[in-house]
Structure 1
């Protein structure tokens, strides 16, 4: 789901009362589908050149970079849980796209100056986003008023993000 068709708006608009059992079931179905998709990402199924969707980073952005806390509890839990699941299950693939690909382009000896400059900017942005996601995972686990299973998944995802690039998180790897 790319572009203007956000899955969050689609599901939230389907029912008039976001706290209704039907709405909660829709959120649970979306969480389950997203976990399946995260497993497909990790398995490399979505790495095909013919895949028009790419990595579903927009759902991580929606769950971690925007403020998911206002709104019904089921919606908040689902958005944050989906973002955490993607990072816990397929964190390596997101890290590769955000950091490793720009790093390889930057250190490519055959690249021209403009390509190296663009790669350096992309590398800096990717590392900054990776750090932001780890910080938001920790913040939401501690102060998000989210359900117990969501907090556990946030903690697992944070440990995974820190373990993938521990250099970005001096001292953070030791915290629990």
Structure 2
């Protein structure tokens, strides 16, 4: 699991449904991933829909009433089997995001679902010798997102087929937008690396020269999503009050990135939809650090 697959089932306009149905049909029924796919399919992604709070409760009930009783040895473990359980949950969520378009409201539905998990009665576990709260302060989400980033990044791989490359790049934009929403929602506030991956992707798009084409469009669109959605968080965590040498360094990068976005917008060589997003991202950067930019009256 964990790579973008070609799903050619009937609902071409709902590939996320095809993905879940395929998971249910092919995954090992004894795995957490299979059980969570079924919960998602009959709740958040059913024809009748479901409140994210209800889906969160269903998931927690499955852990308490099915997962633990089926594996009684877990009760004696420090993490109560929760690390493996969360790996199944977050792995499925992130894989699902490859199929949900970056501008689709279902991305926010999954963010709301993760919010609701944090509103459940808190549970403490021990992980790698440290006590942490599940859903809120545990490191599993960070590790899972980092793994997906390393495995699925289409920019670092050679893909000779333009159609396949475009599909993988589109999926990469989708999952990057979701990562940005996780940052904006505060889910990454306790991450050790925090905004490292977004800043790497933004820098690659806006500090390096790339020939026109699918990869360049992908890089720019990923950078734009991080800036528009999570720009305030990135600015806060990397620049802060701009008092330290490192914060000043990031402030300089902020100006370089904004100027590159303005250049791209004014050149008007990108596809129309991307050009408008680039302009919006530039406006976001200026609004977050207005003193950096001088305007002619």
TM-score (norm 1): 0.75
Q: Tell me which residue corresponds to 1:36.
A: 178
Higher percent of residues as helix: 1
Q: Is the 8 A contact 2:228 2:281 kept in 1?
A: yes
The gaps in structure 1 that reach 5 residues or longer are 107-118
Does residue 27 of the first structure (1) align with residue 151 of the second (2)? no
Tell me, in whole angstroms, the C-alpha distance in 2 between the residues paired with 1:43 and 1:138. Answer: 27
Match of 2:217 in 1: 77
Q: 1:52 to 1:16 in 2, by over 3 A?
A: farther
Give yes or no for the alignment of 1:64 onto 2:188.
Answer: no
2:181 partner SS: helix
Question: What is the aligned partner in structure 2 of residue 136 from structure 1?
Answer: 260
Gaps of 5+ in 2: 1-145
Q: Which position in structure 1 is the counterpart of 2:49?
A: none
Distance 1:58 1:86 in 2: 11
Q: Indicate conservation of the 8 Å contact 2:155/2:215, yes or no.
A: no
- Residue 158 of structure 1 and its aligned partner are, at CA, apart by 0.4
Distance 1:23 1:8, change over 3 A: closer
Number of residue pairs matched by the alignment: 147
Q: Displacement of 1:143 after TM fit?
A: 2.1
Larger Rg, first or second structure (1 or 2): 2
Tell me which of 119, 126, 137 is aligned to 2:250: 126
Deviation at 1:170, TM superposition (A): 1.7
Q: Let me know the Cα RMSD of the aligned residues.
A: 2.2
2:192, 2:289 → 1: CA distance? 28
Runs of 4+ residues over 4 Å off in structure 1: none
Q: Quick one: which of 258, 270, 275 aligns to 1:146?
A: 270
The SS at the match of 1:47 is coil
SS at match of 2:188: helix
State the distance in 2 between where 1:16 and 1:52 align. Answer: 36
Q: Distance in 2 between matches of 1:167 and 1:159?
A: 13
- Measure how far apart 1:9 and its partner are: 3.8
- Residue 282 of structure 2, aligned match among 152, 158, 161: 158
Q: Is the CA contact (8 Å cut-off) linking 2:154 and 2:165 kept in structure 1?
A: no
Q: Which has the higher contact order (CA 8 A, sep 6+)?
A: 1
Measured in 2, the distance between the counterparts of 1:82 and 1:169 equals 24
